[in-house]
A and B are shown apart, each in its own frame.
Chain A
Amino acid sequence: MLNQFAFIGCFLLVALTFGIAPPALAWLFRPKKPNPRKSQIYECGMQTHGETWVQFKAQYYTFAIAFVLFDVEAVFLLPWALAYNALALYAVIEAVIFIAILLVGLFYLWRKRALEWM
């Protein structure tokens, strides 16, 4: 048991060295001559125009959450649909109840005007 953990310990050490060594060596040996052009961001996205502290509309998140909800529903329903022919009536009713609960949620969102962009 302990031997196996020692193996994991060695592995961890090797992994860490492997990750840390190249940047450390590069930092040691590379020439250090910065100039403004070199300090620019390179392939790290666009340079920002104007204020960086932009505020996003929080309403976006209600859409995102509703989307995730139905996304997960699809994930659950896929295996159910694939095994549909082999399933008992019981499983079909369960899935219908599951969809019905989510539909109540959608109905609620709609009636509470969470789906309107304000």
Chain B
Amino acid sequence: MNLNAALSTALGFRSDPKPREILPTGLPSLDAIIEGFPRGAISEIIGPDSSGKTTLIHSLLAASTSRCEVCSYVDTNDSFDPVTAAAAGVALSQLVWIRCGHNAGHALKAADYLLHAGGFGVVVLDLCQVPPRIANRIPISYWYRFRRAIENTPAILALVENEPMAKSCASLMLEMKRKKTAWRGAPGFELLRGVELEALSRKPVRPAEAAFKAKAI
């Protein structure tokens, strides 16, 4: 054993020689940059309201359910909309929806049970609109526990938040932005046609940005 390996073992660091399996998002421009979401790891999607976080999560769920995987949506603030999810291609019958009634503690416990039960393709933990005073109180040990629970499994834990929370425990962090809103029609009779969204990989850092369009339903 060389010195590097001996030190890694002694300090509890584990090298990961195996290339991680990934799940493509189905968005060609984004997959060209990050290839997809890493399995057995935590991914964070952050951004302000209307930045496209939920659109990206729906694409990820659609990609996963199209591979006959069972997914779960832990909905802290009861904000999930099955209509737009179904329109994006999410097979709703393969999705377990857990409404947590604005209780972040319940959401974290539910996610913990789901990750330890195993067998899920994607577990989405939606922490958007959680007030900062509550978000800041979430113990960091939760993220280490989640990371340990899903490593060496094919599951993806996708966190959807306004600000990053898992930080060093996340293997992928995407920041979403709304680039442009497409309105069509004469003034006074305009229709919302869609939005142009932009994803920037904050971790691992990629210089390029992925832009994609989402149609309004």
Q: Do A and B bind each other?
A: no
